[in-house]
Amino acid sequence: MVDDATTPWLVVGLGNPGGEYAGNRHNIGFMVVDLLAERIGGKFKAHKARAQVVEGRIGPAGPGSRRVVLAKPMSFMNLSGGPVTALRDFYKVPVERIVAVHDELDIDYATLRLKLGGGDNGHNGLKSMTKAMGAEYHRVRCGIGRPPGRMQVADFVLKDFSSTERKELDWFVDRSADAVECLVLEGLERAQSTYNS
C-alpha cells in the first residue's frame, strides 16, 4: 500500500538539455516543471541520476499536501528512461506515481490530455521510459499539433514555438502545471474531467 504522506510523486518534464533547445516545442515538459518548481519556491540541483531535481510539497499546507520530486533528465530525450528509472529507485516511487509531462503531436496546440499508461505514439522520450520501466505511468500530454506542409516531424519538434503560438504559451504552460497539481492532489479522473479538452 502506498503511503500518501511519505511516498513522493515523481513529476518528470521531458526535453533536451542545453540552451539551444530551451524554447523548442519538444521542451514544453521542461517549461512546465520549471513553473512548478517556481510555484513551490525550489531551485533545481544536479542529482547523481543524470537529472536536475527539486524536492518539495504541493497543495495546501498540512495533511492535504503531497510530497513531489520534480525532475528534468539531463540525457537527451531518447535516453530519458535511464535517469527516470534511477530517480524512481532512489526515491522509491511506485510507477503509478510517476508523471511524464511531454509534447504531443496528435493533439492540437494548447490542448491538454491526461492519461495513465498506453503507447508512446512515436515519442522517443516515452519510448525510452516505457522500455525502462513499463507503460503504467501517468502522462500529461501537451498538444503541439502536426508540422505544417511537408516539414519533417524531427524539424518541427526541434523548432521554437512560432510567434503566434507564443501568445498563448504562458497560459498553456500555466494550465499544464495546474493539471499536474490536480492529478497529484485529486487523482486522474478529477484532473481529466477538469483539464482534458
Which residues are annotated as catalytic? 26
Judge contact between 86 and 165, C-beta under 8 A: no
Beta strands 98-104; 9-13: pairing state: parallel
Q: Which cell numbers in the block locate residue 188?
A: 486522474
Distance from chain centroid for Cα 50: 16
d(CA 73, CA 75): 5
Judge contact between 140 and 148, C-beta under 8 A: no
Q: Residue 191 CB: number of other CB atoms within 10 A?
A: 23
